[in-house]
């Protein structure tokens, strides 16, 4: 007879001294853990609820004396950010203590563009007062409170934006034209002009230092119109000199030169050839080395801002006036790679996370949203009751914070992941978070978990605006469908949304 | 360079060699069912993602099997006979006592308490504590490791059953009129009056539900963490005290005097399963820990083993059993009179045969058998007290500290309780197949056959009938052509009838509901303007 029974001595299975760690034994046999799937599901549900409970993204606000108009990250200091406001005030903020570190006084009008060199030593600003100023950013422990500009350059037109090369010493300003500067010269190294646009924003490509993209607003078009009898009579009386004309799909207001009108009156001609402004909406790509622009893409509505994906530098995303963001591949501009919809009003600014996996947008609908680079809808929406129109947003250089500047004179700091635990995590805490993340990911399709995870509480006006917008798009879609149903088969072709807003591509 | 390559190859070879044949069996244990079939999937991306995940499952199962030898060092108990003459079931407890070490031999004992007997027993899930309830009102909590009675109380009335709740800190006792919950100091915490005179108690650990069956055959589920009655079900099958929880899916099984076994969940008033298992009353019921095997004993002198996946008898053994219990390793103990028999499936094919026998002193009547978790011990409650015997190979040798720790400290117990409460399952998760949670509901397999199909089938049968008509030659004018035709029509009508009746039932062929069909063919774009007629 051979016999053995389980016999455990206490010494073997417990700790030797009271200050030792407790001994842990594992047995992964599924029979010991009945209903493990149900337990996992309950844990996933709890993880989703905890995410909602800890989802407090707002960290703090910093105040200016006027609406915030532009921002620039300080690439040299994680906690530093340059902020320009409508009253010409430029400040360097310390995000951790939320205090102003330096002031850069000088601008008389609104500061429209701010950029820092890649090493963070110099700052370039430009504004509505037609002046470009260059500043040396003082070292951190210098005692002076305000900084004097190194030099400045006055031009005829107001500036709308400035951006510095990622690698190199050139920077580009935009306004009536695109100017390329370097730090030593006092005049632009090169100027570009394509049509007579007012260029609104400029961004250098992070991968190719000489490539830059701009978005423009205004374009002059010439066309001949036949005025209606009534308008002609009005024009003759001189009571109306401003007319609305339709250029393509855009309505534009044009004032007719009285001289031309006089000529027409003499000749009793009602056909008028006018040169008019049209709200054009182009995105243009330039190479700094060449003298002519490379490509131009015209969309139906204007693009307010552009951001390049830092990890995939051939892709960029355009923040559009129609409330959508359009991601494009630089090599294939006839179609957007992705349309990011959710904002209820114009998207004012956009910035990519340094990881390239997501980007943040600020909108006229008083919200900040975070999108995945390949996601059609936002993963997060931030708002506060006091936040007004958001004019500029930035992702922090460590991808863990989002900064937004808005009409209500405030700069706001948000967490990029609303429920993320900040600070140094113990390995056990880290593991726990990873486990919760995996659970949520595994059960995200189940109705209860999904409902909790995607719910966002919104203030009523924002909620209603979004609902209204949804109704409108739905109505437009229905109308288009009915129009198609009532037309001869094949006479109307539906364009996909990715192509619908593109007017044309110009080489 | 070549040396590095060589060592790399050697390493690969070693890893390959490390996976011997018997590992397949171990891997299977961790795989939790076979891989899904992706052949029908059309979505290539999804297919790729799923097959990647499937490969991850495979890898993790393989890793778990491979690291078993380090993670699970303890070897299970065994009892082997020398040569073909000696039989394991002839080996007596006294023989085993001589062979095993002192600490194990302490697990063989008899506690004689005739004045409060018979006793029913319950163990905590880690096997650290035992609750014993004497019919005449004696309740005791015993620390099994140190063999110390922790607390003893006299309630002074009939006690029919006792169970531990989540751990040793609370236990429930089914007494004469009501069920009471006591704290570990023996102080009454709750009195559950609305359950009535309970005959049998069971605790569903993952759900914090106390299930009870009372004298009137009513099944109650009480949530002990919230103090709410979750389910109150009238079984309508009469008085029974045969109740057992299937640990695999937390479904409660009841054995009835009519020979049926029913399975219940708190959220439905009808049984999930009702199966006729015996021709006489069901006297005992037990579930295998893996949930696929059920043992039932009937008064007609039969013990049956059932496959719960197919609801089929696997094996029928002769013999009475007052009480049945499965051990963690799948041994089946049957007790009747003063005799205990332990069965085992040596081949692993669920074919149970004799493993050990144990006879108590004549006149002792066994009321309750229970294997102690994580130990090779069988507890016996009987008419003279309680006893404990050694059954080598019955317990799980390797415990998991986070699941049930036999060496649990007070602090660990507290932590554990918090985690149990956090992971408390809602009662809706009790279902026959618990792996269904989180899966996609499959489409109904059999779609209703369409009108066209039914018509085609009808025509086919009519044709078959027509071909099959073979008129007999009959005498005296009965084979007249008119008669023949009539007969023929009758046969065809008879063949048609079931189809027409079916159609009448489905409402497809309602004579009364005649549609006034004056539908003008409109172009598609105008169809939405067509006036909708109210159904008559």
What does the pLDDT average to over A353-381?
A: 95
Q: Which residues of A touch B374 (CB under 8 A)?
A: 6
3-state secondary structure A203-253: EECCCCCCEEEEEEEEEEEEEEEECCHHHHHHHHHCCCCEEEEEECCEEEE
> How confident is residue A250, by pLDDT bands cut at 50, 70 and 90?
very low
- How distant is the Cα of B207 from the closest Cα of chain A, in angstroms? 10
Highest mean pLDDT among A144-158, A460-474, B483-497: A460-474
B473 found inside a domain: no
Are B417 and B457 part of one and the same domain? no
Res B21: pLDDT: 64
Res B529: pLDDT: 78
Rounded to the nearest angstrom, the gap between the alpha carbon of residue B521 and the centroid of all alpha carbons in its chain is 60
Q: Which residues lie closer than 8 Å to A44 by C-beta, 6 or more apart?
A: A439, A440, A442, A443, A446, A449
Res B422: pLDDT: 94
Q: Which domain holds residue B100?
A: 88-432
Token representation of residue A445? 């399709």
**Is the CB of residue B437 less than 8 Å away from at least one CB of chain A?**
yes
Whole-angstrom distance, CA of residue A62 vs CA of residue B340: 80
Q: Which of B19, B46, B71 is the last residue of a domain?
A: B71
Are B386 and B457 part of one and the same domain? no
Alpha helices (H) along A318-383: none
CB contact under 8 A, A2 and B290: no
Write the CATH number for B292: 2.130.10.10
How would you list the strands of the sheet with A68-73, edge to edge?
A68-73, A80-85, A90-94, A99-103
Whole-angstrom distance, CA of residue B182 vs CA of residue B171: 5
Are B410 and B310 part of one and the same domain? yes
What does the pLDDT average to over A121-142?
A: 87
B130 found inside a domain: yes
Q: How many CB pairs under 8 A join A and B?
A: 144
pLDDT at A271 over 80: no
B527 found inside a domain: no
The number of folded domains in chain B is 3
Residues across chain A: 507
Whole-angstrom distance, CA of residue B370 vs CA of residue B324: 8
Stretch 163-222 of chain B: residues touching chain A, C-beta under 8 Å:
206
Are B420 and B485 part of one and the same domain? no
Res B3: pLDDT: 45
Res B25: pLDDT: 80
- Share the mean pLDDT of chain A: 87
Token representation of residue B418? 């918090």
Best probe of the A interface among B146, B205, B434, B523, by most A CBs < 10 A, is B434
Element (DSSP H or E) covering residue A338: strand A338-340
How would you list the strands of the sheet with B170-175, edge to edge?
B159-164, B170-175, B179-183, B188-192
DSSP labels, B286-300: EE-TTSSEEEEEETT
What does the pLDDT average to over A195-216?
A: 88
Res B536: pLDDT: 47
Residue with tokens 């996992």: A40
Are B23 and B96 part of one and the same domain? no
Domains of chain A, first to last: 58-219+277-415 (2.130.10.10)
Res B386: pLDDT: 95
Q: Which residues of A touch B434 (CB under 8 A)?
A: 34-35, 37-38
pLDDT at A314 over 80: yes
Segment A183-194, tens digit of pLDDT? 888 889 888 887
Choose the closest CB to A27 out of B104, B392, B398: B398
CB contact under 8 A, B401 and A26: yes
B532 found inside a domain: no
DSSP labels, A134-192: EEEPPPTT---SB---SEEEE-SS---EEEE-SSSSEEEEESSSEEEEESS-SS-SEEE
Choose between A390 and B18: higher pLDDT: A390
Are B318 and B383 part of one and the same domain? yes
Token representation of residue A307? 């951001």
**Is the CB of residue A34 less than 8 Å away from at least one CB of chain B?**
yes
Low-confidence ranges of chain B (pLDDT < 50): 1-7, 11-17, 536
Element (DSSP H or E) covering residue A281: strand A271-287
**Is the CB of residue A42 less than 8 Å away from at least one CB of chain B?**
yes
Are B357 and B498 part of one and the same domain? no
DSSP labels, B521-534: ---GGGGGGSPPPP
B186 found inside a domain: yes
Are B428 and B460 part of one and the same domain? no
Choose between B20 and A2: higher pLDDT: A2
Are B365 and B412 part of one and the same domain? yes
Are B106 and B40 part of one and the same domain? no
B522 found inside a domain: no
Choose the closest CB to B71 out of A1, A26, A37: A26
Are B427 and B462 part of one and the same domain? no
- How distant is the Cα of B62 from the closest Cα of chain A, in angstroms? 12
Whole-angstrom distance, CA of residue B334 vs CA of residue B327: 11
CB B160 within 8 Å of CB B199: yes
Q: Is B390 exposed, middle or buried (0-12, 13-18, 19+ CB in 10 A)?
A: buried
What does the pLDDT average to over A438-455?
A: 94
Whole-angstrom distance, CA of residue A127 vs CA of residue A133: 9
Whole-angstrom distance, CA of residue B104 vs CA of residue B107: 5
DSSP secondary structure code for residue A32 in this structure:
G
Stretch 449-508 of chain B: residues touching chain A, C-beta under 8 Å:
none
CB B124 within 8 Å of CB B417: no
How would you list the strands of the sheet with A211-226, edge to edge?
A199-204, A211-226, A271-287, A295-299, A502-506
- How distant is the Cα of B399 from the closest Cα of chain A, in angstroms? 6
CB contact under 8 A, B249 and A34: yes
**Is the CB of residue B80 less than 8 Å away from at least one CB of chain A?**
yes
User: Would you say the C-alpha torsion B424, B429, B433, B434 has a positive or negative sign?
Assistant: negative
pLDDT at A248 over 50: no
Helix axes A427-443, A447-454, angle to 10 degrees: 120
CB contact under 8 A, A27 and B403: yes
Are B413 and B461 part of one and the same domain? no
B164 closest CA partner among B138, B193, B125: B125
What is the rounded radius of gyration, in angstroms, for the C-alpha atoms of chain B?
A: 32
A349 closest CA partner among A294, A385, A310, A402: A402
Interface predicted TM-score of the whole assembly (ipTM), two decimals: 0.80
Res A183: pLDDT: 87
B39 found inside a domain: yes
DSSP labels, A35-58: THHHHHHHHHHHHHHHHHHH---E
Choose between A112 and B517: higher pLDDT: A112
CB A219 within 8 Å of CB A200: no
B515 found inside a domain: no
Q: Which residues lie closer than 8 Å to B377 by C-beta, 6 or more apart?
A: B107, B371, B388, B389, B390, B391, B394, B395
């Amino acid at each position: 007879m051979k016999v053995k029974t389980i016999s455990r001595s206490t010494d073997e299975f417990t700790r030797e001294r009271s200050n030792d760690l407790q001994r842990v034994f594992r047995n992964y046999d599924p029979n010991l853990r009945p209903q493990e799937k149900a337990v996992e599901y309950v844990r996933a549900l709890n993880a989703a609820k905890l995410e909602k409970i800890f989802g407090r993204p707002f960290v703090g606000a910093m105040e200016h004396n006027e609406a915030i108009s532009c921002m620039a990250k300080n690439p040299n200091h994680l906690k530093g950010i340059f902020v320009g406001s409508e009253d010409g005030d430029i400040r360097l903020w310390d995000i951790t203590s939320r205090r102003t570190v330096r002031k850069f006084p000088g601008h008389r009008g609104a500061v429209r563009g701010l950029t820092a060199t890649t090493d963070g030593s110099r700052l370039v600003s430009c504004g509505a007062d037609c002046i470009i100023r260059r500043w040396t950013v003082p070292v951190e422990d210098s005692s002076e409170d305000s900084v004097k500009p190194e030099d400045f350059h006055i031009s005829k037109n107001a500036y709308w934006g400035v951006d510095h090369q990622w690698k190199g010493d050139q920077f580009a300003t935009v306004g009536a034209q695109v100017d390329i500067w370097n730090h030593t010269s006092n005049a632009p190294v090169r100027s570009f002009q394509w049509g007579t646009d007012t260029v609104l924003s400029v961004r250098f490509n992070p991968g190719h230092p000489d490539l830059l993209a701009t978005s423009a607003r205004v374009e002059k078009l010439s066309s001949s119109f036949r005025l209606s009898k009534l308008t002609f009579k009005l024009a003759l009386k001189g009571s109306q000199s401003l007319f609305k004309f339709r250029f393509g799909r855009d309505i534009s207001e044009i004032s007719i030169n009285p001289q031309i009108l006089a000529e027409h009156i003499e000749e009793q001609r009602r056909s008028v050839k006018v040169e008019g402004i049209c709200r054009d909406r182009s995105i243009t790509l330039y190479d700094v080395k060449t003298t002519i622009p490379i490509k131009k893409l015209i969309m139906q509505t204007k693009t307010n801002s552009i951001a390049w994906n830092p990890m995939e530098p051939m892709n960029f995303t355009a923040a559009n006036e129609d409330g959508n963001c359009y991601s494009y591949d630089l090599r294939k501009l006839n179609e957007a790679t992705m349309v990011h919809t959710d904002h209820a009003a114009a998207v004012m600014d956009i910035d990519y996370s340094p990881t390239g996996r997501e980007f943040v947008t600020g909108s006229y609908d008083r919200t900040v949203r975070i999108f995945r680079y390949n996601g059609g809808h936002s993963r997060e929406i931030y708002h506060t009751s006091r936040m007004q129109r958001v004019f500029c947003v930035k992702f922090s250089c460590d991808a863990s914070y989002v900064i937004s500047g808005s009409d209500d004179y405030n700069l706001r700091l948000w967490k990029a992941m609303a429920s993320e635990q900040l600070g140094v995590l113990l390995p056990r805490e880290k593991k726990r978070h990873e486990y919760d993340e995996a659970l949520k990911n595994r059960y995200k399709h189940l109705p209860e978990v999904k409902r909790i995870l995607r719910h966002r509480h919104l203030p009523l006006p924002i909620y209603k605006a979004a609902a209204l917008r949804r109704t409108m798009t739905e109505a437009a879609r229905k109308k288009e469908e009915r129009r198609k149903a009532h037309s001869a088969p094949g006479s109307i072709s539906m364009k996909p949304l990715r192509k619908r807003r593109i007017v044309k591509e110009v080489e | 360079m070549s040396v590095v390559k060589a060592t790399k190859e050697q390493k690969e070879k070693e890893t390959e060699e490390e996976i011997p044949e018997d590992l397949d069996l171990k891997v299977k244990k961790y795989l939790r069912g076979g891989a899904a079939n992706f052949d029908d999937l059309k979505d290539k991306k999804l297919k790729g993602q799923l097959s990647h995940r499937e490969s991850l499952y495979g890898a993790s199962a393989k890793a778990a099997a491979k690291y078993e030898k380090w993670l699970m060092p303890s070897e299970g108990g065994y009892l082997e006979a020398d040569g073909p003459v000696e039989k394991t079931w002839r080996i007596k407890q006294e023989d085993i006592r001589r062979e095993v070490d002192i600490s194990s031999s302490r697990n063989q004992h008899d506690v004689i308490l005739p004045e409060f007997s018979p006793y029913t027993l319950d163990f905590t899930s880690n096997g650290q504590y035992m609750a014993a309830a004497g019919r005449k009102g004696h309740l005791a909590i015993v620390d099994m490791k140190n063999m110390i009675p922790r607390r003893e109380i006299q309630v002074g009335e009939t006690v029919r059953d006792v169970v531990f709740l989540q751990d040793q800190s609370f236990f429930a006792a089914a007494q004469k009129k009501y069920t009471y919950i006591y704290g570990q100091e023996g102080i009454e915490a709750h009195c559950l009056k609305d359950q009535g005179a309970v005959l049998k108690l069971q605790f569903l650990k993952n759900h914090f539900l106390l299930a009870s069956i009372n004298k009137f055959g009513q099944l109650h589920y009480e949530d002990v963490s919230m103090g709410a009655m979750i389910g109150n079900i009238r079984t309508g099958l009469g008085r029974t005290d045969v109740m057992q929880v299937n640990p695999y899916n937390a479904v409660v099984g009841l054995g009835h005097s009519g020979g049926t076994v029913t399975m219940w969940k708190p959220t439905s008033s009808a049984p999930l399963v009702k199966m006729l298992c015996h021709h006489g009353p069901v006297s005992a019921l037990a579930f295998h820990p893996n949930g696929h095997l059920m043992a039932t004993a009937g008064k007609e002198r039969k013990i049956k083993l059932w496959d719960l996946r197919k609801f089929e008898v696997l094996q029928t053994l002769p013999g009475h059993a007052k009480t049945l219990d499965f051990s963690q390793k799948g041994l089946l103990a049957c007790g009747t009179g003063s005799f205990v028999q332990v069965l085992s499936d040596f081949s692993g094919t669920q074919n149970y045969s004799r493993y050990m026998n144990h006879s108590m002193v004549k006149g002792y009547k066994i009321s309750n058998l229970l294997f102690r978790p994580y130990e090779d011990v069988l507890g016996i409650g009987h008419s003279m007290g309680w006893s404990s015997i050694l059954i080598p190979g019955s317990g799980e040798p390797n415990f998991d500290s986070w699941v049930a720790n036999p060496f649990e400290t007070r602090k660990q117990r507290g932590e554990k309780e918090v985690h149990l409460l956090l992971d408390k399952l809602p009662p809706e998760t009790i279902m026959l197949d618990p792996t269904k949670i989180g899966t996609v509901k499959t489409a109904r397999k059999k779609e209703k056959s369409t009108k066209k199909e039914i018509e085609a089938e009808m025509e086919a049968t009519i044709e078959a009938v027509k071909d099959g008509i073979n008129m007999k030659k009959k005498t005296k004018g009965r084979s007249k052509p008119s008669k023949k035709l009539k007969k023929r029509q009758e046969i065809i009508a008879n063949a048609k009838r079931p189809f027409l009746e079916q159609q009448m039932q489905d409402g497809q062929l309602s004579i009364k509901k005649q549609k006034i069909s004056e539908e003008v063919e409109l172009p598609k774009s105008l169809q939405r303007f067509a006036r909708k007629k109210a159904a008559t």
